[in-house]
Amino acid sequence: MSPAGQEAPWKDIARRKQADRASRIPSQWQIPSSALPKDPPQAKDGPQNVLDAPRQFLSKAEISITESDSVTSLLAAIAARTISAKEVAQAFSHRAAIAHQLTNCITEPLFDQAVQRAQELDKYLEDNGKPFGPLHGLPVSVKDTFNIVGVDTSIGLASLCYKPAKANAPLVDLLLSLGCVIIAKTNIPQTLASLDSINNVFGRTMNPINRLTTAGGSSGGEGVLVAMRGSMIGIGTDIGGSIRIPAMCNGIYGFKPSNGRLPYGGQALGGNGVSRTSIQAVAGPIGRSVQDMDALLKEIMPRANFWGEDCFPTSWSSYRQLKAKGSGEAGELVIGILRSDGNCALLPPISKLLDEVSSTLQSRPNIKVVELATPKAWTKSQSVMSKLMGVDGGAVMADLIESTGEPLVPWMSTRFRKGKPQPLSRVAELQAQREILEREMLRIWTQDDAQGRRTQKLDAIICPLAPHPVPPIEGYNAVGMTSSWVLFDYPAGTLPVRSFKETDLESGKPLGGKALSSWDEKNRELWDESKVDRRVYLGTPLSVQVVVPRLQDEKLIEVMGWVDEVVNSKQGREGGKARL
């Protein structure tokens, strides 16, 4: 704490950091104050959707480049020299700068470095007659947890500002080796442990679809920048839902791989998850289509073990023409619908969404849909997950915050306390509980015959990402429907389906039944018309989560592609249909 009357050190650091960030946006890219949304957001101002607002400040060429059909088509255009990597980097940097001014999604603009890198790639192509790598010129962004040499990895903490990284994270080096161009680093929440991306250094990232609702976290800036087309692909991390939840909140796609498939090292050490001691977070992509994520993963996955000490060799064959082929008796793809984790009941629009997706999938003869009972292991998993996440007592993060006198942001103020690290015996006990739950969950995927031989009976699960729609700012609570899949190390992805409509409101119809838990009590408040105006959800994205067994990451992309093609071709959601 600072002496009375003396300013806390973090405030001056934050002022300087924000000024430095602003100085890296060229003056000609500054947008007029009249174009900026009103802050703080208020219900009377409405959602203030700015998703397409950057178009009014871009040239036709920049719009064409940044709204490219796909990663594949953009890379083909660069390789054919129809457009240069420099033109692409400049266009995406310009759009990213505008997106940032509208939403506060960037922590470290890297526009000058991006253009310089792109020029080097153009020269390589000219001199050698072939691209530098398979992702030559692809504009990407990364969450502000990944080290980039010469750039801060502050994770929104004043104590980590002005301490630039001395080496790249392995995944950054891998991306660069493939020809990627890194446009920016993006905003995150204080402690990296909340679902609303706000910190004292950079402020709050706003949802471009509806400013009254959360942009998600902890890869919130990444989700926003990709949704606003300031980056072609974003790289986030996920330990409790930090890739999938921002994808849900911003109406795009997210992919949480199994552990060991993408390099994770070389990130800011905040103590969250305590690395291999408790629960291991994973890195993964956020994109605007299944195809785009596949285009990235097919190049990264087979090379990951060359770069990441935490990765193992793996193959990846990109899908082209999907054939729903699975574990059904006639080769059908068997998809289970899992409706609740037993801790929170679904609010009506989420239950309705699952009904719609289930009905649409059942209309296909080569897909079999089955309703699944909630496994007890899934219900128990959130408690075990929370305990494992906190085995370090939050000491490292608390010390970093306290060292400059930072206050806790609103969401963390009632949830974060410095505790004592758990003894090794307690960690071992929790890991033993985890093993039992993992073994129990295997039964949802398999069946035994009379002779005790075991075969797979289920190919994928579709379930909610949350029991509620995209909530108002500070409204996110339970994460059991996303964090559990990290505990079990199952690949899981976010797939947008449609927007929240007037018919989803059910105005005047109260929620029946009783709360299942303290988590559910908070969940029910999000539908309580005495506490929230349900119209806040209008126009926000409604998404589902797709899950497959451990290490079947390639299968996840395939199933997501299938479900996306079936569901979104029928729903006709603008921009949502997978390009297969």
Mean pLDDT lowest for which of 79-88, 266-275, 372-381?
266-275
User: For residue range 197-228, what is the model confidence (pLDDT) as tens digits?
Assistant: 999 999 999 999 999 999 999 999 999 999 99
Residue 29's CB is within 10 A of a number of other CB atoms, namely: 18
Among the ranges given (120-124, 248-252, 356-360, 389-393), the one the predictor scored with the smallest mean pLDDT: 389-393
User: What token pair was written down for 128?
Assistant: 């050698």
pLDDT of residue 407 exceeding 60 = yes
Query: Terminus-to-terminus CA distance in the chain, angstroms?
Result: 56
242 labelled ligand-binding: yes
Q: What are phi and psi of 404, to 5 degrees?
A: -115, 10
The two structure tokens encoding residue 262: 């993408």
The verdict on whether 242 is a catalytic residue reads yes
For residue 568, what pLDDT band results from cuts at 50, 70 and 90? confident
- Closest to 91 measured CA to CA, from 117, 115, 56: 115
How many structural domains comprise the chain?
1
Does pLDDT of 414 surpass 80? yes
Q: Is 473 annotated as a binding residue?
A: no
241 within a domain of the structure (yes/no): yes
Measure the CA–CA gap between 228 and 53, rounded to whole angstroms: 9
CB of 283 closer than 8 Å to CB of 236? yes
pLDDT at 271: 54
Is 254 flagged in the annotation as binding?
no
Q: What is the mean pLDDT of residues 367-372?
A: 96
Question: Does residue 457 carry a catalytic annotation?
Answer: no
Catalytic residue among 242, 258, 483, 543: 242
Q: Enumerate residues 6+ apart whose C-beta is below 8 A from 111.
A: 24, 25, 26, 93, 96, 97, 183, 184
Confidence of residue 579 (pLDDT cuts 50, 70, 90): very low
User: Rounded to whole angstroms, what are the CA distances from 141 to 89, 189, 236, 240, 303?
Assistant: 12, 17, 9, 21, 20
What's the pTM value of the predicted model, to 2 decimals? Answer: 0.96
Where do runs of H (alpha helix) occur along 24-156?
60-66, 71-79, 85-103, 111-128
Boundaries of domain holding 562:
58-571
DSSP element (H, E) containing 547: strand 541-547
Q: Would you say residue 335 lies in a domain?
A: yes
Describe the crossing of helices 348-362 and 553-571 by its angle, rounded to 10 degrees: 100
> Are 463 and 337 within 8 A, CB to CB?
yes
pLDDT band at 575 (very low <50, low <70, confident <90, very high): very low
- In tens, the pLDDT along 115-137 reads 999 999 999 999 999 999 999 99
The chain-wide mean pLDDT, for the chain, equals 94
Answer whether residue 218 is part of any domain: yes
Instruction: Indicate the DSSP class of residue 326.
Output: -
Q: Does residue 33 lie within any of the structural domains?
A: no
Q: Percent of the chain scored above 90 by pLDDT?
A: 88
Question: Which pLDDT does position 3 carry in this prediction?
Answer: 67
Q: What pLDDT score does 573 carry? A: 42
**pLDDT at 325 (0 to 100):** 74
More confident residue, 3 or 267: 267
pLDDT of 419 above 80 = yes
Tell me whether residue 192 is annotated as binding. Answer: yes
Catalytic residue among 84, 154, 197, 218: 218
What span, in angstroms and rounded, lies between the C-alpha atoms of 571 and 577? 9
Please indicate, yes or no, if residue 219 is contained in any of the structural domains: yes
Does the annotation flag 390 for ligand binding? no
Q: Which of 86, 143, 368, 387 is catalytic?
A: 143
Provide the pLDDT for residue 411: 84
239 a known binding residue?
A: yes
- Residue 186 inside a domain? The answer is yes
- CB atoms under 10 Å from CB of 532, counted, come to 15
- Structural domain includes residue 65: yes
| Per-residue pLDDT reduced to its tens digit, 238-258 | 999 999 999 999 999 999 999
pLDDT tens, residue by residue, 467-521: 999 999 999 988 999 999 999 999 999 999 999 999 999 999 999 999 999 999 9
* 1 part of a folded domain: no
Residue 194 has pLDDT above 50, yes or no: yes
pLDDT tier at 365, thresholds 50, 70, 90: confident
For residue 163, pLDDT over 90 is answered with yes
pLDDT score, position 574: 38
What is the mean pLDDT of the segment spanning 35-45? 96
* CATH number of domain containing 140: 3.90.1300.10
**To the nearest whole percent, how much of the chain has pLDDT over 70?**
95
Task: Please indicate whether residue 143 is annotated as part of the active site.
Answer: yes
Give the mean model confidence (pLDDT) for residues 321-339: 85
